[in-house]
Structures are given as C-alpha cells and as structure tokens.
Amino acid sequence: MAWRGTRRLAVPFLVVGGIIAVALAAPVLPLGDPVTIDVSARLTPPSAAHWLGQDEYGRDVLTRIVWGARASLAVSFLAAAIAGVFGIILGLLGGYFRGVVEILTVRSAEAVLCFPPLLLALLVLTLLGPGAGTLIVALSILYAPTYARVAYAETLAARNLDYVVAQEALGARSGRILARTVLPNVAPPLLVQFSLTVASAMVLESGLSFLGLGVVPPEPSWGLMIRGARSTMDQAPWLLLWPCLALTGTIVALNLLCDALRDVLDPRGRNVTANPFRALTGNLLSRTSPPQVSKPELLRVDGLTLEIAAEGGAIRPVRDVSLSVAPGETLAVVGESGSGKTLTGLAVMGLLPPVVEIVSGEVHYTDRTGHTYDLMRLDDAAMRGLRGDEIAMVFQDPSSSLNPVHRVGDQVAEAIRAHRNVSAAEAWRQAVGLLDQVGLPDAARRARAFPHELSGGQQQRAVIAAAIANGPRLLIADEPTTALDVTIQAQILALMAGLKHQSGGMGMIFVTHNLAVVSEIADRVAVMYIGEVVEEGPVDQVFATPRHPYTIALIESVPEGDDDRLSAIPGTVPPLHDLPPGCRFAPRCGFAEAACTTADPPLERIDGKRSTRCRRWRELA
C-alpha cells in the first residue's frame, strides 16, 4: 500500500513542490530585477530575452511571475494554515465538549461569517493599513470560522463513535483523546478544506491587491499583475494570461495534492476494482435456447459461478452452486458472512452489483404460464417484468428498503401499479388490504404513515406487503429477521410461514446465518461455505444426521447445550484470494486427511434427496 500511495502522491507533490521551490529560489535564479523599469520596452511581446514579454512599465513578466508567487503563495498558505490551526482547535473543542464551550468557540466564531467576506477583509485592512502582513491577518480571521464549522461537524459525528468512547473508558484525558483519536479521524475533510482555503485565499489576495489593499506596488504579486494588465488589455492581452495561468495552475495542483493526500492517509485501501470490459464480456454468454425442464420445479440453479475482478487476480465468491426450489417449498440458504449466500440470491433476482461477473451457470425459472427459461440469458426488460411480479425480494434492513419520504401505503401501491394497470385509488385500496394481511395494526390509518413512524417490525411487514403485492411465485428473503428483536422475529417468521400456506405454491428462498431460524421456517436447507454449497437436503435430516464436517461444526457451535465450553470451529475463514488447495474447509476440519488437501471434492448424492461435498461422508455417519 505504501508504494501505491507514494506513486499517487508523486505527481501533484512534485508540481506543488516545484512551484514552491521556484518561488523560494527567486533571488538566486538568473532572473532580472522585478521592479526595474524599462519604459522604452513597455508591452513588448514575448522574446528570447523576455520569455513572457514585458509589462506596461517594461518590467520582465517572467521575473514578476516568479517574484509574485512569493507574495501570493506566502499570503495564501500562511493565512490558510493560521486559520486552520485556530479554526480546528475551536471546532474540536466545541464539538467535543458541547455546552458552554460550544457557544464560546464555534458559535462565536460563526459571528464572523455574518459579514460579507470582502467587506470584512476591507474593514481589517482599513484598520491595520495595507501590506502582506495585514492581509494574512485579515484572511486568517476570515477563514478560521469555516474550518471551525467543518471540524465541529466532524467532531460531533466522531465523538460518539465506539473507538472514541473506548478511549474515554480507558481513562484517557480529553486532550489526548482529541489529539490522538479525534483529530486524525476528522482530518480528511479538513485537508480538503485547506486546499479550498488556499485557493480561495489566493483569489482574494489577488482581488484585494487588485483593489490596492493587499501587497503594495511596486512589489509584485499575481493580483497586482492582473490589475496592471487589465488597463492594457487591448494592447497586450497576454499580460493578463500569464498571472491567471499561474493562479489557476497552482490552485489545481494544490487541489490534486490534497485529494491524493486524503486518500493516502486513509489506511483502508480499495481492493476491488471494477473492470467494465469484463462485465461486458459477461453479457456475451452464448444465448443458446435453454433446455426444457420436465420436473415441476419453480427454480433450478445449475452450476452458478460468479467472479469479481480484484487487484491480486479474480476471486470467485460463488462457485458451482446448484439449488432448486419447488412450488410451495422453502429453501433456506445458510452460511456465515462471505459464504456467497446473498450474492446467490441477488444473482437469481438479476440484481448483481456491476463488479460481479457471471462466469457460468444457468438459472431455470418456470413462470405462471408454465414456460421455462434461463434467467441468466434474459434481457433487462424481461427481467424487470419478472422482478416484483413473479419474483419478489425482501431485504435485511427494513428501514433502508423503504423510501423515507413516501408513505408506506404509496410504496405498496407503487409496487402494484408497476406491474398492473389499475387506478391509483384501486391500488391504494389493495395496498391497505395487503398491509392488513401482513398484520399491520390499524392498516387503513397506518398506510398513511411514513416509514420512520413505524417500528422495525412494522416496517418489515410493510416491506413484505410490497413484496407479495403481485402474488409472486418466488420470494427471496435475505436475512429478513436479522435486524429485528426475537419477539418481533417470531412474529415475522410466523407471518412468512402463514403467507406460504395462504398463497398456495409460493416458493421461498430464505437466506440466513441463523441455524435455529432455518429449523423453524425451512423445508430444505443448503449450507454454504466460501461460495460453495457443502451440504444440501431436507432440514430434519440434515440437522439430525449432518453429512459434512462444516455442518456438524456449525450445529455444535450453537450455544444451546449444557456443555461448559462451546465447540468452536478453529481458525478463520480463509480469504477468497488465498484459498487452500483441495477442499476449502480442510484446514479447519477435524476429519481432513491428505487426500482432502489435494483435489476438490465433488458434490456427491447421498440418497435421492441429499448431497454433500465431503469425500469422507460415509465415515461421518
């Protein structure tokens, strides 16, 4: 990461460093004197002796640009830095201590913001007299409150973060917490603020010098040069160009530097990069006509493999996954985080994020009319027609699945009208009926509520109402009860079990990490580990006589027994870019033998209904 960061920093750093170095080195550079007047050569265009030409008094423009950079950069950098130091201190104190301190620091600093900036600068300059020093003071006063506000807002957000509270719990003094923990974490937006302030100070310096209140002539500054060039714009327009270019170039370079600095200071680098070309080729899978399926299945996933292009090579978060759901059946897909269970659900919905590419696999779906087709090869419009109509989805977090600015009744009605041609009034009537059906108390009135006016359980009921609005034949529920409390979870599970019976034939894929929930809701279960289905079969049989060591270990790690120690699976889930050879579970498996670490175990059929991806399953019985 270090070298990557350095390389990102290099270019803007060299440019800004170069500009500063040239400005600092002005006295030793082979340049003329910036104030020597040569009236005979006034407004001479660029020549070999004077690369950028001569100005209205015949002074060398290049010399004045370089010397002017000293004034412009010194004023803007110093002003931005001084304002930053004071503003950040005020903001940190105000945001961390709140109360009286907040009024004394941030709020009083904000009073400054009430004045128009130029007016305020003029006021200070008039009081103290023009000159570079005064200009720095004026600009510092002007910019400090902006820093204070940014620092204050960031501190407010950071002060209740767990790791800040943790410092407090450790007994650290407030000063230490502010300097070591809060400041580094609020720094990124402040860095951006710094680059903006330098740029803005440079412009204001130019403006004030232009008005004759900043740097005093004949001392050069970019603002003064623009001012001088303005009067001779007709005769020598290039004179205006040079200082403007210098100003713009410096500001752009500075912005780039601060952006790069902010990214490099963030220790969490980005690992996954999207590759648009790969996504494109993914869509060019052969569009062969799908084989007809004779079995009365609703959904059959065959050999689904997904790939994400990552920095260290492609990773496969889902590999050779095959599942099936019959009408009226609930299939639980259970696994830990990173097992690929959510991506599998999203793939069926055609809602994979763009970085995920489908390498191979078929998803056969049989629709209401009895036609079977491969969802992977369906075009977007056809898929959109299925989504929300034939196939619906319920997500984990109900508060983020509902739009906070629309009434819940409208959101359910919208789901109806997206697929059926009914009037708004009729859709609303049906929405209220659905909300009533999912057990929202006082549905007619609650339909008018906004999501935030409902509890988490009620929100999830509303989400489910929208999902079943068009009588879907397949419902994919991704951890629908994980964000809910147990008593509410019990309500939602009962509701979902009830829906299945009422709607006759609705199949369900229930994605969860909770084995106990699986045993309550599902008919069949597929256990996933690092992107593979390791065991699949009827819930009762799989839980009573598991035939894969991972399933056994998962069941044993549920803290229900009376044993003194929980049985934990040793080690951690290996990362996708560094998978062990052979069976993916072998390094953590108590049953692993040499053969397990050499070849991938195939998914073996146990009897008609079950399968396992363990070569030693017979010995597990």
Partner 1 sequence: MTTVPLLVEAKGLTKTFRARQSLFGRRRDILAVRDVDLSVGGQEAVGVVGESGCGKSTLGRLLLHLLAPTAGTVRFDGQDLAALGSDQRRRLRRRMQLIFQDPFGSLDPRRTVGNQIADGMLIHGLATDAQAREAVGDLLEQVGLEPTHATRLPHEFSGGQRQRIAVARALATQPDFIVADEPVSALDVSIQAQVVNLLADLRQRLGLSLLFISHDLHVVRHLCDRVAVMYLGRVVETGPAAALFEAPAHPYTQALLAATPSLARRRDTGRPPLSGDLPSPSDPPSGCSFRTRCPHANSDCAAAVPPLEPWASDGHRVACWRAAEIA
Q: Radius of gyration over alpha carbons of the chain, in Å?
A: 34
CB of 337 to partner 1, least distance (A): 6
Nearer to partner 1 (CB atom), residue 127 or residue 166: 166
Using the CB atoms, write b or e for 539-566: b if 16+ within 10 Å: bebbbeebbbbbbbbbbbeeeeeeeeee
Rounded to the nearest whole angstrom, what is the least distance from the CB of residue 456 to partner 1 in the complex? Answer: 8
Q: Looking at beta carbons only, is 513 or 577 nearer to partner 1?
A: 513
Nearest CB to partner 1, comparing residues 206 and 460: 460
Q: By the criterion CB under 8 A, which residues form the site for partner 1?
A: 161-163, 165-173, 176, 180-181, 184-185, 265-268, 336-337, 441, 455-458, 485-491, 493-494, 513-517, 519-520, 543, 553-555, 557-560, 564-569, 572-573
Helices (H) and strands (E) in the chain, counts: 24, 12
Tell me the closest approach of the beta carbon of residue 552 to partner 1, in angstroms.
11
- The rounded distance, in Å, linking the Cα atoms of 53 and 62 is 8
Q: How far is the first Cα of the chain from the last one, in angstroms, to the nearest whole number?
A: 48
Task: Pull the structure tokens for residue 101.
Answer: 């301190």
Which is closer to partner 1, CB of 171 or CB of 608? 171
Q: How far is CA 103 from CA 62, 114, 151, 220, in A?
A: 49, 16, 15, 42
Query: Which one, 256 or 569, has the nearer CB to partner 1?
Result: 569
Structural contact between residues 213 and 125, judged by C-beta atoms closer than 8 angstroms: yes
Q: For the CB of residue 12, give the shortest distance to partner 1 in the complex, in Å.
A: 22
Shortest distance in whole angstroms from residue 392 CB to partner 1: 23
Q: Which is nearer to partner 1, 32 or 574 (CB)?
A: 574
What's the token pair of residue 325? 């759901």
Minimum Å gap between C-beta 165 and partner 1 is: 6
CB of 281 to partner 1, least distance (A): 31
- DSSP of 181-238: IIHHHHHHHHHHHHHHHHHHHHHHHHHHHHTTSSSPTTS--HHHHHHHHHHTTTT-TH
As measured in angstroms, the least distance from the Cβ of 177 to partner 1 is 10
295 φ, ψ (degrees, to nearest 5): -65, 150
3-class SS at 544?
helix
Rounded least distance, CB 621 to partner 1, Å: 20
Of the pair 200, 460, the CB lying nearest partner 1 is at 460
In contact, 525 and 334? CB cutoff 8 Å: yes
Strands 524-529 and 611-612: unpaired
- Contacts of residues 175-182 at CB distance under 8 Å and 24 or more positions apart, as own/partner, are 177/96, 178/92, 178/93, 178/96, 182/92, 182/96, 182/155, 182/158
Tokens of 471: 């009588």
Residues forming a β-bridge with 302? 362
Q: Is the dihedral of CA 565, 569, 571, 573 positive or negative?
A: negative
| Distance of closest approach, residue 130 Cβ to partner 1, in angstroms | 43
Centroid of chain to Cα 580: 30
Task: Give the nearer residue to partner 1 in terms of CB position, either 485 or 593.
Answer: 485
**Sheet of 299-308, strand order:** 315-325, 299-308, 356-366, 372-374
CB of 268 to partner 1, least distance (A): 5
> Is residue 557 a contact partner of residue 566, using CB atoms and an 8 Å limit?
yes
76 versus 458: smaller Cβ distance to partner 1: 458
Between 181 and 342, whose beta carbon lies closer to partner 1? 181
| Minimum CB–partner distance for residue 201 and partner 1 (Å) | 28
Of 319 and 588, nearer to partner 1 (C-beta) is 588
Nearest CB to partner 1, comparing residues 128 and 516: 516
Please compute, for residue 503, the number of CA atoms within 13 A of its CA located in the half-sphere on the CB side: 27
DSSP category for residue 46: P
CB of 288 to partner 1, least distance (A): 39
- Kindly tell me which of 40 and 337 has the beta carbon lying closer to partner 1: 337
Q: If you write DSSP's letter for every residue of 424-493 in order, what string do you get?
A: HHHHHHHHHHHHHHTT-TTHHHHTTS-GGGS-HHHHHHHHHHHHTTT--SEEEEESTTTTS-HHHHHHHH
One-letter amino acid at 224 equals: L
